Chains A and B, each alone.
Chain A
Amino acid sequence: MSDPLLVIHDLMAGYGEGTVLEAINLTIPPGRNTAIVGANACGKSTLLRTLSRLLAPERGKVLLDGHSIHRLPARRLAQQLGLLPQSPIAPEGITVLDLVSRGRHPHQGPFARWSAADEAAVAEALEATATTDLAGRTVEALSGGQRQRVWIAMALAQQTNILLLDEPTTFLDINHQIEVLDLLTDLNRERGTTIVMVLHDLNLAARYADVLVAMAKGRVYGLGAPEEVLTEQMVQEVFGLESRIMEDPVTGKPMMIPLGRHV
Chain B
Amino acid sequence: MTDPSSCVIARLARIRRERATRRWRVLAILLACLLAGAALTLMLGQSSTALVTVLRVLGGADVPGAGFIVRELRLPRAVISILTGVCFGLGGVAFQTMLRNPLASPDIIGISTGASAAAVFAIVVLAMSGPAVSIVAVVAGLSVALLIYLLSWRHGVTGARLILVGIGLAAMLQSFTAYLLTRAPSWTLQEALRWMTGSVNGVQLEQALPLFVALLFFGGLLFSRSRDLEALRLGDDTAAGLGVRLTATRVSIIVSAVGLISFATAVAGPIAFVAFLAGPIAARLAGRNGSLLAPSAIVGALLVLLSDYAGQFLLPARYPVGIVTGVLGAPYLVYLLIRDNKSGDAL
**Interface set of A (CB-CB < 8 Å, partner B):** 15-16, 49, 52-54, 74-79, 82-85, 87-95, 97-99, 102-103, 105-106, 108, 110-111, 114, 119-120, 122-124, 126-128, 132, 135-136, 155, 158, 186-187, 190-191
- The segment from B41-49, B167-175, B231-239, B319-327 found at the interface with A is B231-239
B114–chain A nearest beta-carbon distance, Å = 29
- The listed residue (A89, A94, A106) touching B243 by CB distance below 8 A is A106
B243 touches A123 (CB 8 A): no
Tell me whether A95 and B289 are in contact in the complex, defined as CB-CB below 8 angstroms, given that A83-B238, A88-B238, A158-B242 are known contacts.
Answer: yes
Size band of the interface chain B makes with A: 35 or more
A83 touches B231 (CB 8 A): no
A192–chain B nearest beta-carbon distance, Å = 11
| B58 at the binding interface (Cβ < 8 Å) | no
Measured in the bound complex, the distance between the Cα atoms of B193 and A66 in whole Å is: 63
Measured in the bound complex, the distance between the Cα atoms of B243 and A52 in whole Å is: 10
15 extra A-B contacts, CB within 8 A, seeds A110-B227, A127-B8: A15-B155, A54-B237, A85-B241, A88-B237, A95-B15, A102-B242, A108-B227, A119-B9, A119-B13, A123-B9, A126-B12, A135-B11, A135-B12, A187-B1, A191-B1
Residues of B within 8 A of A186 (CB): 1
Residues of A within 8 A of B67 (CB): none
| B339 at the binding interface (Cβ < 8 Å) | no
Tell me whether A92 and B288 are in contact in the complex, defined as CB-CB below 8 angstroms, given that A82-B241, A97-B16, A108-B227 are known contacts.
Answer: yes
A105 touches B243 (CB 8 A): yes
| B318 at the binding interface (Cβ < 8 Å) | no
Residues of A within 8 A of B12 (CB): 97, 119, 122-123, 126, 135
B4 touches A127 (CB 8 A): yes
Tell me whether A98 and B11 are in contact in the complex, defined as CB-CB below 8 angstroms, given that A53-B240, A54-B240, A103-B242 are known contacts.
Answer: no
Q: Which chain B residues numbered 183 to 230 have a C-beta less than 8 Å away from chain A?
A: 224-228, 230
A19–chain B nearest beta-carbon distance, Å = 15
Tell me whether A85 and B16 are in contact in the complex, defined as CB-CB below 8 angstroms, given that A91-B288, A94-B289, A103-B242 are known contacts.
Answer: no
Residues of A within 8 A of B13 (CB): 119
Q: Which residue from chain B places its CB closest to the CB of A98 in the assembled complex?
A: B289
Tell me whether A85 and B289 are in contact in the complex, defined as CB-CB below 8 angstroms, given that A78-B243, A124-B3 are known contacts.
Answer: no
Measured in the bound complex, the distance between the Cα atoms of B69 and A24 in whole Å is: 76
Measured in the bound complex, the distance between the Cα atoms of B2 and A120 in whole Å is: 12
Q: Which residue from chain A places its CB closest to the CB of B283 in the assembled complex?
A: A93
Tell me whether A16 and B155 are in contact in the complex, defined as CB-CB below 8 angstroms, given that A74-B244, A79-B243, A89-B234 are known contacts.
Answer: yes
Q: Which residue from chain A places its CB closest to the CB of B156 in the assembled complex?
A: A15
Q: Which residue from chain B places its CB closest to the CB of A93 in the assembled complex?
A: B288
A85 touches B242 (CB 8 A): no
| B245 at the binding interface (Cβ < 8 Å) | yes
Q: Show 11 residue pairs from A and B whose CB-CB distance is below 8 angstroms, ordered by the A residue.
A: A91-B234, A97-B15, A97-B16, A102-B242, A110-B225, A119-B13, A123-B9, A127-B5, A135-B12, A136-B15, A158-B242
A88 touches B288 (CB 8 A): no
Measured in the bound complex, the distance between the Cα atoms of B242 and A158 in whole Å is: 8
B1 touches A83 (CB 8 A): no
Tell me whether A135 and B243 are in contact in the complex, defined as CB-CB below 8 angstroms, given that A123-B8, A124-B4 are known contacts.
Answer: no
